[in-house]
Amino acid sequence: MSATPSAAPSVPASAIPSQRTSPAPRHPEHVPQFPPGTDIDQLDPPFLHTKEQYQKLWDSVDTLLLDCDGVIYHGPIVVPGVKTVLQLARKQGKQIIFVTNNGTKSRRMYKKTFDKLGIEAHESEIFGSGYASAVYLSKVLKFPQDKCVYLLGEKGLEEELDSVGIKHKGGTDPADNVVLTSPPDFSSFEKDPSVGAVLCSMDFGINYKKLSKAYSYLRDNPGCEFLLTNQDKVYPTGGTTWVGKLSLARRELTPGSGSLSSPLVFALQGKKEPTVVGKPNKPMMDAIIAEHHFDKSRALMVGDNQLTDIAFGNNSGIRTLLVLGGVTHEDQVWGPKASDIKPTYVMNSLGDFATLAE
């Protein structure tokens, strides 16, 4: 049970970016740095680090719900061992569902990303917060056909709304993607009475005009719904750094979708609270279960973010596996700074399961 893991490859410490500012994908054999004297077999939540522990968990799972960035890949780099793990899961008949809060891409776009990375994935297996939001509007809210959505978001979100027949404005429309250099005069702005919802997501062209329009619709249009694809505080970006033959993702955290929508929440002063569709909230799981029926007791949610991935699994009554090296580090799991959101298990990487294919 407590077999000693093999040593990690020798990499100069000075060559590795600081994990607090630039977390990098973990090598499958890397062992987290615990305080001297720590008994890693007594940690709570348990840290899985032996083949026997991996096998026991793997055999108890029929459905894998997998976060993408930070679990499957870091930017352009596939996490070592993950391709082998996914191939093993498919060979053994396990169900794979990719669950992401990234609302900038459609399922079609995600499929192209997976193809480029050499990872087998099917559109029906991909659940982004954009697609879940479109399904929520269409099937849960029964959004009227004569209404449209004002959008703060990217092309991928527009594509998902199109796929369920929901009209939209704003978004990538050049008329709304302008930078104002002087105080705006909105006295001539004619509000569209057909706007029945404002949907906010990650929007790289966010600007004062969009925020002002969204606010006016939420404030003045009767019954206008306020939806967020997700409420992530930060959004990971970055490129690639090479240390010898080991590739590391150079990652920086920038404001996320939840941060971009916060001006609207603040301006409304509690008069209208948003419905958040993505992880860790119930609408996302409702959308998944509507299309993929599975036994929750035999499912495992794998993620690198305690606030979204782990809380999502916990809220849904599903076991959770936290992988390190994304947005979560050891001191956020164990010790005085540990989060109150606890995973069922912790591992270095999803790629560690690759040892089971040997």
Q: Are 249 and 24 in contact (CB under 8 A)?
A: yes
Among the options 41, 67, 115, 203, which is catalytic? 67
Three-state SS at 223: coil
Q: Angle of helix 208-220 relative to helix 257-268, nearest 10 degrees? A: 50
| Residue 220 bears catalytic tag | no
Task: DSSP letter for 47, please.
Answer: B
| 304 among annotated binding-site residues | yes
Check if 69 is active-site: yes
Burial class (CB in 10 A: 0-12, 13-18, 19+), 214: buried
Distance CA 251, CA 156 (A): 23
The DSSP secondary structure of 51-112, one letter per residue, reads HHHHHHHHHT-SEEEE-SBTTTEETTEEPTTHHHHHHHHHHTT-EEEEEE---SS-HHHHHH
Tokens of 313: 């699994």
User: What are residue 112's phi and psi, to 5 degrees?
Assistant: -65, -35
List the catalytic residue out of 62, 69, 331, 340. 69
Query: Which residues sit opposite 232 in a β-bridge?
Result: none
Count the residues in the chain.
358
Is 67 annotated in a binding site? The answer is yes
Quote the DSSP letter at residue 134. H
The tokens describing 224, both together, are 């206008």
Give one word for 70, left, alpha or beta, with left for phi > 0 and alpha for psi -120 to 50: left
Q: How far apart, in whole angstroms, are the C-alpha atoms of residue 99 and residue 201? A: 16
8-state DSSP, 130: H
Annotated binding site for Mg(2+): 67, 69, 304
Annotated binding site: 67, 69, 279, 304
Annotated binding site for substrate: 279
Active site members:
67, 69
